[in-house]
Structure 1
């Protein structure tokens, strides 16, 4: 089992099938909160949906295409974060994340995104990390902004969100910029 300790209260653990129940429970309890910005909530209605998601994560990890982890805060799974995709040709990782309702405001996701960025550059030897967020999702956008990612522009109608399109802001940071800090 892979665990990466961030601080005394916070760790990342490679997602496993045995996490299915807790991840589904957290998803289900946070459904209204998460649905505002995540397009997959209506397709995650039973435990088996989360189990299939985790199987896909494990397949992506085995194929060296992604790395998804659960976020442990004080020993409890509170969200999911990782590289939704790693483009080895261009040496770029794409970070995605979500946090259960009630766990925001503790600096969790900023610390997680910083750790994933460090890992991408220091351990994987990548050149760039990207985070994308809907224009109106101020909380999610605040994470790359706090970490001094560069706003690289807007992709219009980047994602269908149940009954409307949302534009995405693309944030990026290069290894040389990150290592200057």
Structure 2
């Protein structure tokens, strides 16, 4: 997997060690914004920390257990999207994503998710995709709803976020749902 074209200005690419500084700079440039919903932001203190994440991501890809892709928009790293892990026995996975504050409102996450959904169902031949979003994170929740996911319920106190737990809304789409939506 080298590159996945989202549109004429946007592509998804595996993140590499030589991009650690770009990734760190993006996180650092919108730290307060990302920190509201992502528990790893405070532990990202230097490009060495992003190298650790990239090494983890490369191992994950090599082990065929998911991947992390940079969202590149007009040549700039705008955010990340990927599969947390792949449950090959049950043909299921979950998508995680984040976008730099300066890139919000361009539809990049929705378009990137849709592109990734095609890959998951068509190339990986999985059956179920899940997206979770904190119950207060309305922008993140709008993505799966916009893409035809079903709200399955709320996982109470699903994630520790610095000094408190947050509940997650759980959304899913099945292969059959995807086929029906594609045929419209």
TM-score bracket for the superposition, by shorter chain length:
over 0.9
Shift of 1:119: 0.6
Shift of 1:101: 1.1
Cα-to-partner distance string for 1:128-174 (whole Å, 9 max, x where unaligned) = 11100000000000000100100011100000111110000110000
Matches within 5 A, 1:64-75: 64-75=64-75
Cα-to-partner distance string for 1:103-147 (whole Å, 9 max, x where unaligned) = 010010000111111110000000011100000000000000100
Supply the distance in 1 between the matched residues of 2:91 and 2:165 (Cα, whole angstroms). Answer: 29
Residue aligning to 2:159: 159
RMSD, matched Cα? 0.8
Residue aligning to 2:134: 134
Supply the distance in 2 between the matched residues of 1:180 and 1:148 (Cα, whole angstroms). Answer: 10
Matches within 5 A, 1:43-58: 43-58=43-58
Residue aligning to 1:80: 80
After TM superposition, the runs of 4+ consecutive aligned structure 1 residues lying more than 2 A away are: none
Residue aligning to 1:33: 33
Residue aligning to 1:149: 149
Shift of 1:75: 1.2
Residue aligning to 1:95: 95
Shift of 1:84: 1.3
Shift of 1:175: 0.4
Residue aligning to 1:16: 16
Matches within 5 A, 1:91-130: 91-130=91-130
Report SS of the residue matched to 2:151. Answer: strand
Report SS of the residue matched to 2:27. Answer: helix
Report SS of the residue matched to 1:180. Answer: helix
* Structure 1 residue runs without a partner (length 5+): none
Between Structure 1 and Structure 2, how many residues are aligned?
A: 181
Shift of 1:42: 0.9
Supply the distance in 2 between the matched residues of 1:132 and 1:139 (Cα, whole angstroms). Answer: 12
Shift of 1:78: 0.6
